[in-house]
Amino acid sequence: MRLLRQVRPYRPQFILAMVTSALASLLDGVTVVVLIPLLRVLFGTTGQFGASGSEALTRFTNWLLGPLIQGVPTNVAVARLLGVLVAGLILRNVLAYATTQLQVAVQEGLVRDLRAALFENLLKLDLGYFQRTRQGQILASITTEVDGVKEVVTAALMRLFQSLVKIATILVLMSQISGRLMILTLTTAPILVLGLRFVLVRLRRHARARTQDRGIITSMLAEQVGAVKLIRAYGEEQRQIARLTDQLTRYRTKVLRTSRYASLTGPMSEIFGGLLVILIIVAATTPALIGGVPLAPEAAIAFLVASLQLTSPIKAISQYPALMAVAMASADRVYSVLDEPASDVDGPDDVPLSFTRDIVFDRISFRYGTDASVLTDVSFRLPKGEVLAIVGPSGAGKTTLVDLLPRFNEPTSGEIFIDGVPLSTIQRSSLRAGLGVVSQDTVLLNDTVHGNIAFGSPGATRAQVEAAARAANAADFVAGLPQGYETVLGERGTRLSGGQRQRISIARALLRDPPILILDEATSALDTESERLVQEAIERLMQDRTVLVIAHRLATVRHADQILVLSDGRVVEQGAHAALIARDGLYRRLHDLQFRDPEPVA
């Protein structure tokens, strides 16, 4: 029902497809009706259509085709009837083509909407979801699984409707030729239904397991492609190939199990169709079975042709549950993502950011899920225009702390205030528009230099982009690229060095011109020359801004207005550089580890 609601925007195309498919199915019955007088004209047979004499079918045939064949030579009558058959065949296939095109329009519209809805919901999820869910499984939901879902509402449902209309049309026609023979024919249907029920229960179970494994494979491939250099550096090629092959083997086993049951539906319906033909031939030539009067030859042939046309829709219906079983397994996966509660959304009473005074963290604690606390009772005040440096050992909670300011995560307890307004009541879009973030893990898109610098500032002109690049010490190396600012940087900016990527990131932040800046180890892992250029760009970026800077290299934070020292998620020291050196605590020990000659105590 949820999928059917997704089709509402495409209701006109969906209904029109139903109409064209129904008309195409009705035309299948008309061709059989035309066949009866054609056979009579060709072979000159006479007699009743069936044991009870179908006056209704006789009257309908005479009304539809009598004017074409009465009072004309045999060859003319045959030619006219053949013309009607050809015209019916052409019209039927035109309608079938139109149905297919309408189906595709609805299918692809549904796929587009589902993918857009998935992506929109993903952008609103808590970051913890991405930490506990493999990237490949998320990508599989958006790509492969959505393609599987479209079969439920469009192709499968439309084929089911078309098949039901065709079966109804053929059954009406068959009942007019011989009601008893039609009833005898239908008695075989429960055999097929019972056989399919056994198959389909198992098919759905295996389809779900296959869907899960497909996501794991996508995740493994994405992970290993991104780690190609690491795999080669450590000689892990064969182990990683073997690991992936094992997973592919497990997936292959589940695909074979699914296919084993899905493939049974076709042969079962084929056998059913063959037995049906044999039954009709035997019954048509055995008067006792159909009321004591044998069928006229043209009636027997028409009934047999109709029964053969019945086989195709019965087969389609028999395959429908198999298609649905596989498609619903994909739908389960898609809706499991869509049903993840969105946390990154604003409340109706949230207000825009206004920053003129200070940022205050008041007894902030945070934990991921049920894990141990990452931050405990962290408090500090950062006046506007000042620089706060956050230092401490690895795992102290530094990045987690600054991630609370853009509301990437929400505190477990405590409150953050900007100008006295609780951060939890400030609109996220307004808040993040006032923030610039430059981190060690620079993210660049597979876009041009201009596109990467202007990311988040879509209205920026080329002159503004170039000015930001010059301020970030990036203009010189950009000028040396093949197409300058129109050079595509490749996925994650692989065409650039670490220092170059960092300067592009700084240019992006400069162009945004935010009042609050977060620098998360922005100069780590760079060579000396790159660090000098990046540090110069950062100093320009920090001018006249309120800055929170995380740094392992303490030389870069000596001139901060205040330094916050974290250990195990708690603030253990706080103050200016000189005061912390004099205190001879954790900050002094960290400082002395990085410098050969300890700084004298003041």
SS3 track for 206-269: HHHHHHHHHHHHHHHHHHHHHCHHHHHHCCCHHHHHHHHHHHHHHHHHHHHHHHHHHCCHHHHH
Q: Which residue has the higher pLDDT, 313 or 284?
A: 313
Mean per-residue pLDDT for 579-586?
Answer: 87
Q: Domain 347-427+560-602: state its class.
A: alpha beta
Tell me the average pLDDT of the chain.
Answer: 79
Mean per-residue pLDDT for 576-596?
Answer: 83
Structure confidence by residue, pLDDT tens digits, 468-525: 888 888 888 889 888 899 988 877 677 788 788 888 888 888 888 889 988 887 665 5
DSSP annotation string for 130-165: HHHS-HHHHHHIIIIIHHHHHIIIIIIHHHHHHHHH
Contacts of range 282-290, beta carbons closer than 8 Å, 24 or more positions apart? 283/181, 283/184, 284/178, 284/181, 287/51, 289/180, 289/181, 289/184, 290/50, 290/51, 290/178, 290/180, 290/181, 290/184
Mean per-residue pLDDT for 89-113?
Answer: 87
Contacts of 97 (CB under 8 A, 6+ apart): none
pLDDT at residue 197 in the model? 65
Structure confidence by residue, pLDDT tens digits, 231-245: 776 677 888 888 888
Instruction: Tell me how far apart the alpha carbons of residues 214 and 200 are, in angstroms, rounded to a whole number.
Output: 21
pLDDT at 176 over 70: yes
The CATH 1.20.1560.10 domain(s) of the chain lie at 2-216+259-338
In this structure, the dihedral spanned by the alpha carbons of residues 160, 164, 166 and 170, taken in order and rounded to 10 degrees, is 150
Instruction: Tell me how far apart the alpha carbons of residues 180 and 168 are, in angstroms, rounded to a whole number.
Output: 16
pLDDT at residue 381 in the model? 93
Contacts of 596 (CB under 8 A, 6+ apart): none
The CATH 3.40.50.300 domain(s) of the chain lie at 347-427+560-602
Among 20-34, 283-297, 363-377, the least confident range: 283-297
CA-based nearest residue to 442, from 523, 540, 549: 523
pTM: 0.67
Contacts of 379 (CB under 8 A, 6+ apart): 361, 362, 363, 364, 414, 571
CB atoms within 10 A of CB 121: 16
pLDDT at 255 over 60: yes
Kindly list the distances between the CA atom of residue 450 and the CA atoms of 45, 438, 463, in Å, as whole numbers in the listed order: 83, 18, 10
Cβ atoms of 334 and 146 within 8 Å: the answer is: yes
pLDDT at 152 over 80: no
Confidence of residue 415 (pLDDT cuts 50, 70, 90): very high
- For 34, half-sphere exposure in the C-beta direction (CA atoms, 13 angstrom radius) is 20
Which phi-psi region, left, alpha or beta, contains residue 75 (left: φ > 0; alpha: ψ -120 to 50)? Answer: alpha
Cβ atoms of 61 and 36 within 8 Å: the answer is: yes
Instruction: Tell me how far apart the alpha carbons of residues 434 and 406 are, in angstroms, rounded to a whole number.
Output: 9
Say which CATH architecture domain 2-216+259-338 belongs to: Up-down Bundle (1.20)
pLDDT at residue 201 in the model? 64
- For 91, half-sphere exposure in the C-beta direction (CA atoms, 13 angstrom radius) is 15
Confidence of residue 394 (pLDDT cuts 50, 70, 90): confident
Instruction: Tell me how far apart the alpha carbons of residues 559 and 556 are, in angstroms, rounded to a whole number.
Output: 8
Mean per-residue pLDDT for 282-307?
Answer: 70
CA angle 168, 171, 174 (to 5 degrees): 155
CA-based nearest residue to 13, from 147, 110, 94: 110
Confidence of residue 388 (pLDDT cuts 50, 70, 90): very high
Give CA 343 to chain center in angstroms.
20
pLDDT at 49 over 50: no
